[in-house]
Amino acid sequence: MAADVATAVPARPAGPMVPVRYRVTARHQDTADSVTLSLMPIDEPIDDPEPGQFTMLYVFGVGEVPISVSGCPSREGVLMHSVRAVGAISRALCRLEPGSALGVRGPFGVGWDVSSAEGSDVLIVAGGIGLAPLRPVIREVLAGRERFGRVAILIGARTPDALLYTEEIEQWRAVPDVHVEITVDAATQGWTGNVGVVTTLLEGLPTTPTSTTAFVCGPEVMMRVVARDIVESGADASKVRISLERNFQCAVRQCGHCQLGPLFVCADGPVVSWTKAAGLLAVRRW
């Protein structure tokens, strides 16, 4: 009788806190401390992420960490994440080899809403690992190039060796009528490109500020300065979008670790307009 009752109880549906098992199908070493992992589902896959959303990646026996999606299954055929080794969990992720299993929760948060930029000029500004969540934006814009106006892509990195996706960047450069500029904080031997912070690239762009949608991601101080300068040049603050990074733990607006003023960044972001973010990021926090 007990066995009959047990089998009659319906299976509890998986919720947003239950990781789905994925397997690493490819691993690409982007820089000395960054890798891009391609993942395919072992179980029923998560919903297809939109550019700008993130997932929680769980290394079994180590822990869980939020990572932005750098390639979407609906577009690339696999789920892709670029990870920089900065802590115990991200280092464990970077050590995973093809065939390894890990857990994935998500997708979470608000994406870039690339389609809303159709018909306008597009300005994409990336700093460091911030290029990873912007990569799907770039791919979508270039794949549908005829739907957008003039396109400018500005990329900043600490050094030439810290640049992500170097081969892919050259492919972006080759697309007609796409302006791509790169700068580094410190040059190394053989570097002949720009040296300086990414804001130095904002002068002389082919885009028209008053008809531009901007996508900005990188260190917070960089995003503040870039977004401010873009708006001061004449862009509409509501069309300047940044991606906030906070201490995501639950990713479902419950734990409060990611709260920024009235925003729960895991759910109300990570992508927000400069209209929402400007006042919040102006407040000094200890």
**What is the pLDDT at residue 134?**
98
pLDDT of 285 above 70? no
Across the strands, what pairs with 212? 121
Q: For residue 92, what are the contacts with CB-CB under 8 A and spacing of at least 6?
A: 59, 62, 63
Note the pLDDT tens digit of each residue in 172-200.
999 989 999 999 999 999 899 999 999 99
CATH node for 114-281: 3.40.50.80
Burial 220-255 (b: 16+ CB within 10 A, else e): eebbbbbbbebbebebbbebbbbbbbbebbbbbeee
> Above 70 in pLDDT, residue 2?
no
- To the nearest whole number, what is the mean pLDDT of the chain? 92
Element (H, E) at 280: helix 274-281
pLDDT band at residue 74, thresholds of 50, 70 and 90?
confident
Mean pLDDT of the region 220-247: 95
Q: Are 218 and 191 in contact (CB under 8 A)?
A: no
pLDDT value of residue 284:
72
Q: How confident is the model at residue 8 (pLDDT cuts 50, 70, 90)?
A: very low
Tell me what pLDDT residue 14 has. 66
Confidence category of residue 68, pLDDT binned at 50, 70, 90: very high
Confidence of residue 255 (pLDDT cuts 50, 70, 90): very high
pLDDT higher than 70, residue 95: yes
Alpha-carbon span 73 to 225, nearest angstrom:
33
pLDDT of 201 above 80: yes
Per-residue model confidence (pLDDT) at position 5: 41
pLDDT of residue 6: 41
What local confidence, expressed as pLDDT, does residue 191 receive? Answer: 93
pLDDT given for residue 231 in this prediction: 97
Please compute the mean of the pLDDT values over residues 139-151 and round it to a whole number: 96
Overall average pLDDT of the 51-68 stretch:
97
Q: pLDDT band at residue 9, thresholds of 50, 70 and 90? A: very low
Dihedral over alpha carbons 175, 180, 184, 190 (to 10 degrees): 50
279: burial class by Cβ within 10 Å (0-12, 13-18, 19+)? exposed
Query: Is the predicted pLDDT of residue 247 greater than 60, yes or no?
Result: yes
Task: List the domain boundaries for the chain.
Answer: 20-108, 114-281
Contact 87, 62 (CB under 8 A): no
| pLDDT tens string 101-118 | 999 999 999 999 999 999
In this predicted structure, which of 1-5, 38-42, 243-247 has the lowest mean pLDDT? 1-5
CATH topology of domain 20-108: Elongation Factor Tu (Ef-tu); domain 3 (2.40.30)
